[in-house]
A and B are shown apart, each in its own frame.
Chain A
Amino acid sequence: MALTREQLAQRVAKELQDGFYVNLGIGIPTLVANYIPQGMQVMLQSENGLLGMGEFPTEENIDADLINAGKQTVTAVAGASFFSSAESFAMIRGGHVDLTVLGAFEVDVNGSIASWMIPGKLIKGMGGAMDLVAGADNIIVTMMHADKHGNSKLLSTCELPLTGYGCIKRVITDLAFMEIKDGAFHLLERAPGVSVEEIVTKTAGKLVVPEHVPEMTF
């Protein structure tokens, strides 16, 4: 079975490490915050100027001056800090964030990512995505393996305008966990009950399949 959004977030959460500063993008990446393992300390960076993002506030604690990058009202944890957008992107561009998780429309075998613009559709802007992919060494892309017509989103070359060139090393889809290196996707794990054949069929870019592909655990 393909992973649900929650399972995808759960699998990403296994890549967290104690003491990590983490930036989570909008959508599935945001859900990762719900699966931070017990006893592990992780500080969430929100690029609008908050390090140490907490959960949503109660109705009484809502503060219009305290939002996340998705413009949602949030709280700050003990030890949090606030800063300008320039400072925030110094952290991001300077490679100080340990892990960045974000979504994508397409990823290719060279690690390029397209996530912000579909020609012919209304362009809303890239926000901080281009800075995030250019600045972080450790990026996990979460996405659906194929679109609803079964067309692969894991390509030889991205067809949509890029968000970043050659910057993605790990992808977790609803079907598989893959590493990108040497111009190919390398299959590391498959979703429980998903066959290697299905993953091969739905991967348009070059895919290297080892003899044994373990199922994901959560």
Chain B
Amino acid sequence: MAGFNKVVHSYEEALAGLNDDMTIMVGGFGLCGIPEGLINHMVKLGVKGLTAISNNAGVDDFGLGLLLKQHQISTMIASYVGENATFEQQMLSGELNVILTPQGTLAEKIRAGGAGIPAFFTATGYGTPIADGKETREIKGRHYVLEESLTADFALVRAWKADTMGNLVFRKTAANFNPMMATAGKITVVEAEEIVEPGELDPDHIHTPGIYVDRVIKASFEKRIEQRTVKAAK
């Protein structure tokens, strides 16, 4: 790598340094916007004991479901995990530690982590099992729960376009958790559909500035659809 050129040309380089027992963040909502190639390479690496932070857990044969199937994840932090039978079975058997987190709180924990804020108060979850054991406070007549932020050893992000300096543009609802995760990884690895030269992305249109990004790899994506819904043709 030279200067600000963050492009790597192999998944080995992209995930160099990823070891057992690390904490990883993985972008995506359902199967939309997940870094497919990086996940597949983690399966190949066989790293184990991972703490995975991701809104969902993939499906049985795609996305994070592939890591679960190989028993590579020991703790999962997610908001909704309903689409994965492997997950259910490992959760029920106690093999997998699951920390269910409200979706907005999860997003904010990651945003805060990347922004250097250690914790924040939110009304979300007050009076529910989510608040058990957490500090609460009344502020201006309303009750709030103290939630600690999240960071990770590796943040695995999927972008639409990246330039070689790591500036990122996301596409439609494939952005989801990716922009915050890009800020919250000690090492942030981006899998992009397209890599362009510096200056080709309009600085006004960049979603994630390159300062957050360590490595960029170009990939093609299967983009599997979870719920294919169409309207009847007229």
Q: Which of A62, A128, A162 contacts B79 (CB 8 A)?
A: A128
Q: Please encode chain A, from 48 to 60, with 1 for each CB lying within 8 Å of some chain B CB and 0 for all others.
A: 1110000111110
The residues in B between 97 and 113 inclusive whose CB is less than 8 angstroms from any CB of A are 100, 102-108, 110-111
Flag if A134 contacts B228 (CB, 8 Å): no
Of B12-20, B42-50, B169-177, which stretch is located at the interface?
A: B169-177
Residue of B nearest to A64 (CB): B223
* Interface status of A212 (Cβ within 8 A of chain B): no
Give A63 Cβ to nearest chain B Cβ, in Å. Answer: 7
What's the A-B contact tally at a CB cutoff of 8 Å? Answer: 178
Q: Which of A59, A88, A162 contacts B107 (CB 8 A)?
A: A88
Flag if B175 contacts A131 (CB, 8 Å): no
Flag if A73 contacts B227 (CB, 8 Å): yes
Q: Which residues of chain B are near A88, meaning CB under 8 Å?
A: 104, 107
A92 to B207, CA, bound (A): 21
Q: Which residues of chain A are near B80, meaning CB under 8 Å?
A: 124-127
Of A12-20, A78-86, A99-107, A145-153, which stretch is located at the interface?
A: A78-86
Residue of A nearest to B78 (CB): A125
* Interface status of A194 (Cβ within 8 A of chain B): no
Q: Which residues of chain B are near A117, meaning CB under 8 Å?
A: 129
Flag if A131 contacts B124 (CB, 8 Å): yes
Flag if A127 contacts B103 (CB, 8 Å): yes
Flag if A73 contacts B124 (CB, 8 Å): no
Residue of B nearest to A82 (CB): B172
Q: Which of A48, A89, A125 contacts B173 (CB 8 A)?
A: A48
Q: Please encode chain B, from 68 to 106, with 1 for each CB lying within 8 Å of some chain A CB and 0 for all others.
A: 000000000011111100001001100000001011111
Of A2-10, A163-171, A172-180, A196-204, which stretch is located at the interface?
A: A163-171
Flag if A89 contacts B29 (CB, 8 Å): no
Residue of A nearest to B221 (CB): A64
Q: Please encode chain B, from 211 to 228, with 1 for each CB lying within 8 Å of some chain A CB and 0 for all others.
A: 000000000000111111
Flag if B79 contacts A86 (CB, 8 Å): no
The residues in B between 169 and 189 inclusive whose CB is less than 8 angstroms from any CB of A are 170-180
Give A41 Cβ to nearest chain B Cβ, in Å. Answer: 20
Q: Please encode chain B, from 107 to 136, with 1 for each CB lying within 8 Å of some chain A CB and 0 for all others.
A: 110110000000000111111111000000
A108 to B180, CA, bound (A): 36
Secondary structure of the A contact surface, majority rule = loop
Give A33 Cβ to nearest chain B Cβ, in Å. Answer: 12
Q: Which residues of chain B are near A24, meaning CB under 8 Å?
A: none
16 additional A-B pairs beyond A48-B29, A56-B230, A64-B224, beta carbons within 8 Å, are A48-B30, A49-B29, A49-B173, A49-B175, A58-B231, A64-B225, A65-B160, A71-B30, A82-B170, A82-B173, A84-B177, A84-B178, A112-B127, A125-B78, A161-B129, A163-B128
A interface with B by C-beta (< 8 Å): 46-50, 55-59, 62-68, 70-74, 76, 82-86, 88-89, 92-93, 112, 117, 122-131, 134-135, 161-166
B interface with A by C-beta (< 8 Å): 29-33, 55, 78-83, 88, 91-92, 100, 102-108, 110-111, 122-130, 143, 160, 170-180, 207, 223-231, 233
Q: List 16 A-B contacts (CB under 8 A).
A: A64-B224, A65-B32, A65-B171, A71-B226, A73-B227, A85-B55, A89-B103, A89-B104, A93-B108, A126-B80, A126-B130, A127-B103, A130-B124, A134-B123, A135-B123, A135-B124
